[in-house]
């Protein structure tokens, strides 16, 4: 028997000019979610139940970029995606392209448990949602005024910098962009932290992970990021559970979540070493962060960008909610 451990995140890559009020709101939400998870774990809930529970909570709150409050596509619509993985038998479920499902992570779980497949997307996923009778809302429910404003700014920014791979010199002199920090080709002030996630190891030593997102602001309709891709944004096996956030393309290329587990399994690294190794060596020019737990009851996180909304707690009473380094 190990002590349980839990970590949650609300995205990597934070505007250094984020108003204090927003920082406070974020920390409160993370604390609230941690407490929900802690309560469930203290009642012996399984890891996979806890990660679903916590991510549902994050999805329902418009503060972060998932479920309600999701980033918008170039068409101004919402296309949500999520995945969940149960480390014990490496069962997994994922969904993409959801436009009406209130809790994508729960649909991902149903794909894992009630369908013969691992991953359903777009109209097929929406159909499955109706078959399963999950809660649905009109697309407008998920769209917040904040994000409508962000989309407009993102479109303006993209007309100035159309190829995100080419660094633009001097754009920080452009009106409206105070911060020189950039992620995914957008100034950090309008980038929107990408994703939410939760990882848990329960008192039986079982690990689980779940990740949910609206994706990249102003993304092409149909664009799939790392969050629903097992091995990239989410991974859990016998030794650990990992959830990533940040530049989706960098996370996919680096198969980031799987990487943490692979260096633990194949190189014998401990959790924190594995996390540090992956963040240091697997991201090249990409920016990302991740949270992880191990079957030994450890919790760890790492990020190479400007801040990550996160919280972690272990059974022995340790608890921390932070944004910056």
Judged by the rule CB under 8 A, the positions of this chain that interact with another protein are: 85, 89-92, 94, 96-97, 115-125, 127-128, 163-165, 184-185, 216, 219-225, 229-232, 235, 248-249, 252-255, 258-259, 262-263, 266-267, 284
**Shortest approach of another protein to residue 258 CB, angstroms?**
5
Catalytic residue among 195, 211, 213, 255: 195
Q: Which is nearer to another protein, 61 or 184 (CB)?
A: 184
Q: Which is nearer to another protein, 37 or 104 (CB)?
A: 104
Number of residues that make up the chain: 325
Query: CA 59, CA 240: separation in Å to the nearest integer?
Result: 23
DSSP state letters, 135-204: -B--HHHH--HHHHHHHHHHHHHHHH---TTSPPTTGGGSTT-----EETTEEHHHH---EEEEEEE-TT
Q: Which is nearer to another protein, 31 or 118 (CB)?
A: 118
For 9-55, what is the HEC assignment?
A: EEEECCCCCCCHHHHHHHHHHHHHHHHHHHHHHHCCCCHHHHHHHHH
**Shortest approach of another protein to residue 22 CB, angstroms?**
27
Q: Which is nearer to another protein, 165 or 173 (CB)?
A: 165
Strand partners, 94: 83, 119
Beta strands 299-303 and 80-86 are unpaired
**Shortest approach of another protein to residue 323 CB, angstroms?**
27
**Shortest approach of another protein to residue 293 CB, angstroms?**
19
**Shortest approach of another protein to residue 237 CB, angstroms?**
9
Q: Which is nearer to another protein, 23 or 118 (CB)?
A: 118
Query: CA 197, CA 289: separation in Å to the nearest integer?
Result: 11
Query: CA 322, CA 23: separation in Å to the nearest integer?
Result: 9
Q: Is position 255 annotated as part of the catalytic site?
A: no
Kindly list the catalytic residues.
195
């Amino acid at each position: 028997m190990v002590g349980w451990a839990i970590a949650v995140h609300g995205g990597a890559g934070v505007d250094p000019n984020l108003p204090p009020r927003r920082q406070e709101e974020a920390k409160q939400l993370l604390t609230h979610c941690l407490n929900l998870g802690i309560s469930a774990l203290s009642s012996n809930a399984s890891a996979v139940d806890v990660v679903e529970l916590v991510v549902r909570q994050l999805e329902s709150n418009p503060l972060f970029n998932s479920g309600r409050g999701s980033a918008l596509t170039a068409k101004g619509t919402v296309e949500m995606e999520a995945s969940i993985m149960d480390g014990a038998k490496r069962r997994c479920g994922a969904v993409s392209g959801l436009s009406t499902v209130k809790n994508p992570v729960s649909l991902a779980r149903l794909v894992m448990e009630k369908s013969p497949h691992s991953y359903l997307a777009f109209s097929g996923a929406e159909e499955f949602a109706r078959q399963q009778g999950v809660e649905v809302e009109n697309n407008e429910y998920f769209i917040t005024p904040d994000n409508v404003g962000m989309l407009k700014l993102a479109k303006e920014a993209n007309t100035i910098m159309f190829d995100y791979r080419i660094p633009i010199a001097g754009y920080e002199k452009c009106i409206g962009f105070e911060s020189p920090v950039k992620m995914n080709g957008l100034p950090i002030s309008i980038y929107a932290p990408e994703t939410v996630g939760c990882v848990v190891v329960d008192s039986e030593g079982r690990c689980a992970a779940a990740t949910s997102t609206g994706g990249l602001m102003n993304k092409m309709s149909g664009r799939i990021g790392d969050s629903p891709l097992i091995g990239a944004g989410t991974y859990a096996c016998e030794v650990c559970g990992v959830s990533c956030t940040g530049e989706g393309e960098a996370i996919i290329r680096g198969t980031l979540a799987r990487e943490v587990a692979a260096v633990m399994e194949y190189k014998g690294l401990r959790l924190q070493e594995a996390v540090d190794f992956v963040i240091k060596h697997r991201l090249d020019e990409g920016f990302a962060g991740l949270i992880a737990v191990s079957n030994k009851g450890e919790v760890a996180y790492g990020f190479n960008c400007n801040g990550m909304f996160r919280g972690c707690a272990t059974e022995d009473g340790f608890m921390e909610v932070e944004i910056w380094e």
